[in-house]
Amino acid sequence: MLISLKNIFVNAGHVTLFTGRFFKEVLRPPFEIKEFLRQCYIIGYKSLPLVAITGFIMGLVLTLQSRPTLAEFGAESWLPGMVALSLIREIAPVITALICAGKIASGIGAELGSMKVTEQIDAMEVSAINPYKYLVVTRVLATTLMIPVLVVFADAIGIYGGYVGVNIHSDLNMFRYFQQVLDSLDFLDIIPATIKTFFFGFFIGLIGCYKGFTAANGTESVGKAANEAVVAASLTIFIIDMLAVQITDLFF
């Protein structure tokens, strides 16, 4: 009991140090720009199809599911606005982040984990290349910047999915639909939701890297690192989301 409590503190300490190291190293040259761009490409561009498909389905399904309720109130004309708001404020950021936790955090966890196990990280270290800078900083930066972009795509494609959903039951032209969507939007819907996606991205990258970087020796710890990265990242996303909503609620 006491030992497990101590372990929790030890782990928390490790995570804090690991996070602190990121902020220390991110500003200090040399910068691994090429690797950063490569990671942006892998994390951002390569995740786009997945995010696009989920975004479209979310928008479509959300529209179809909300329509009966709104129709009961005779408020079908609120459908575009409601779908857009739900997507932008909550669903697109969280679903995209969860998908990326599954795809990216686990990918990073497994990649760094196997690099650790096969001594590739040690090899970098002995050749006097800072593996933290090359592997962690680039990836965390890339997720922090790419997840928000992916969320913007998910928003846009999700809203388009909503348009398709609306048009299954009624006939609304594209221009009117987007007009209604934009009408219902406010800065307060966009800005906090966007800010939180940066945090999602940061933690997806950080947790994936942490789990991979601190993997034990042995190949089975690679799978463990990937698995733990997904679980921890998903949980963190929900916690951040809750905090973000509370904070937004508090101030606005």
Quickly count: other Cβ atoms within 10 Å of residue 20's Cβ.
Answer: 10
CB of 12 to other proteins, least distance (A): 22
CB of 188 to other proteins, least distance (A): 6
Residue 55 · residue 161 · CB < 8 Å = yes
Residue closer to other proteins by CB (options 60, 62) is 62
Residue closer to other proteins by CB (options 55, 64) is 55
Please provide the size of the chain in residues. 252
Quickly count: other Cβ atoms within 10 Å of residue 169's Cβ.
Answer: 14
Residue 109 · residue 210 · CB < 8 Å = no
Q: Is 216 helix (H, G, I), strand (E, B) or coil?
A: coil
CB of 42 to other proteins, least distance (A): 9
Binding residues vs other proteins (CB under 8 A): 30, 34, 37-38, 40-41, 44-45, 48, 71-74, 76-78, 81-82, 85-86, 89-90, 111, 114-115, 118-120, 122-130, 148-150, 152-153, 155-156, 180, 182-190, 194, 245, 248-249
CB of 144 to other proteins, least distance (A): 13
Instruction: Compute the C-alpha angle 41/159/197, nearest 5°.
Output: 45
Residue closer to other proteins by CB (options 91, 232) is 91
Residue closer to other proteins by CB (options 19, 194) is 194
Buried b (16+ CB within 10 A) or exposed e, 210-222: bbbbbbeeeeebb
CB of 209 to other proteins, least distance (A): 15
